[in-house]
Structure 1
Amino acid sequence: MALLLVGLVIFIGVHSIRVLAAPWRAAQIERFGLRAWRGVFALLSILGIVLSVIGYGLARRYPVPVWLPPFGMAHVTGLLTAIAFVMMTAAYVPGNHIKRALGQPFVSGVALWAFAHLLANGTLHAMLLFFVFLVWSLVEIRAGRRRDREAGVVYASGTVAHDVLVVVIGLVAWAVFAFWLHGLLIGVRPFG
């Protein structure tokens, strides 16, 4: 579990710099340049993900049960993660009502994804992983909304066509992940 913790600290730490140390971040970008900053950010992010994945895999070998999820919770999680995929997709499709309503649709989707997985996983390592992502995403949503207010950001009005595009892309991505990639990459088939 130590490797999982180290990976989470690196990944969440790097992704929290803008919230916790914006002036320091700006100074580093000014000092080294945007390309160098993005390169180091990407390398540390990848390192954090790799360590978290390896650590999670190792922790799954010797799980510490904390609670037993109720019957059917995998289906609730499936529904919530489908919605989360749609929310995350909204961040990348311009002119949709979801982005305008949420302001921070990607991290809002991450929050819902993490919450959904907390409902269906009762082991200590799973609870740690998803709780950390839930807390981080809630902090990031608040900080992002504050940045938007301070910068006077107003999201464009959405169109129904773009909303449909967001929903279709999000649900297709969710289906591919839930029915195929989740089992291949995570080793767990959510729907059998």
Structure 2
Amino acid sequence: MLLFILGLIIFFGAHFFSALARGPRGAMISKIGEGPYKGLYSLISLAGFVLIIFGWRGADASVLYSTPLWMRHVTYLLVLVAFILLAAAYLPAGKIANAVKHPMLAGVKVWAFAHLLVNGEVRSVMLFGAFLAFAVIDRIAVKRREAPVRAAGPVMNDVIAIAVGGVAYVAVALYLHRYIAGIALF
């Protein structure tokens, strides 16, 4: 359990520092440069992520709550929406990205919430709860910074985001989830 918790602290500590400690972050970038800062941030995040993965098996799997079987279908639908939002975040802006303003954070929130609906063991609540809390807090921080929103592009950008998100969702749901999370969905 210690590795798992340490991984969460390191991973989200790096993310919270980057998102919320704008003054110290800026000072560090000024001191070492943007490229080295991004490299350091990536290495720390990766170290935390690796610790989360290795600590997962030893983390507390006691069940806090269980949900009805049909809730899986709600989760599947929400995760599809999350994949589309994540695709919209990294493709040219369309109406989806413009409507939600920060599709990556919205996608993470939807993904984490969906997983909390069906994963009631302690380690899952800690993991997905941490992702949800981070995305909510980061969204509030971004809103306070008044970051500019990209102008909406043509509707074709949304069609592409839906297609890319849908294909990624199908790949994860039918094949990759068993390797990512150790659980085959179908």
TM-score scaled to structure 1, two decimals? 0.92
Rounded to whole Å, the distance in 1 between the matches of 2:20 and 2:156 is 38
Residue deviations 1:1-57 (CA, integer Å, cap 9, x gap): 221111111111101113331100000010111111111111001101111111113
Q: Is 2:173 aligned against 1:183?
A: no
Rounded to whole Å, the distance in 2 between the matches of 1:98 and 1:33 is 34
Q: What corresponds to 1:13 in structure 2? A: 13
Task: Say whether the 8 Å CA contact 2:20–2:138 is kept in structure 1.
Answer: no
Rounded to whole Å, the distance in 2 between the matches of 1:14 and 1:101 is 28
Task: Identify if the C-alpha distance between structure 1 residues 154 and 67 changes in structure 2 by more than 3 Å, giving closer, same or farther.
Answer: closer
Rounded to whole Å, the distance in 2 between the matches of 1:77 and 1:53 is 22
Q: What corresponds to 1:85 in structure 2? A: 83
Q: What corresponds to 2:49 in structure 1? A: 49
Task: Say whether the 8 Å CA contact 1:14–1:44 is kept in structure 2.
Answer: yes
Offset of 1:73 from its aligned partner? 1.6
Rounded to whole Å, the distance in 1 between the matches of 2:72 and 2:152 is 35
Equivalent positions of 1:33-182 (< 5 A) are 33-59=33-59, 63-147=61-145, 149=146, 151=147, 153-182=148-177
Offset of 1:157 from its aligned partner? 1.9
Q: What corresponds to 2:31 in structure 1? A: 31
Task: Say whether the 8 Å CA contact 1:104–1:145 is kept in structure 2.
Answer: no
Rounded to whole Å, the distance in 1 between the matches of 2:20 and 2:104 is 19
Task: Say whether the 8 Å CA contact 1:11–1:48 is kept in structure 2.
Answer: yes
Query: What is the alpha-carbon root mean square deviation over aligned residues?
Result: 1.3
- Identity across matched positions, percent: 38
Rounded to whole Å, the distance in 1 between the matches of 2:73 and 2:57 is 23
TM-score scaled to structure 2, two decimals? 0.95
Rounded to whole Å, the distance in 2 between the matches of 1:172 and 1:85 is 9
Rounded to whole Å, the distance in 2 between the matches of 1:74 and 1:57 is 23
Offset of 1:82 from its aligned partner? 0.4
Rounded to whole Å, the distance in 2 between the matches of 1:137 and 1:40 is 21
Unaligned runs of 5+ in 2: none
Give the total of aligned pairs: 186
Rounded to whole Å, the distance in 2 between the matches of 1:96 and 1:18 is 27
Residue deviations 1:155-190 (CA, integer Å, cap 9, x gap): 212321111000000010011011100012211112
Residue deviations 1:47-79 (CA, integer Å, cap 9, x gap): 0111111111322xx621111121122211111
The code of the aligned residue for 1:118 comes to L
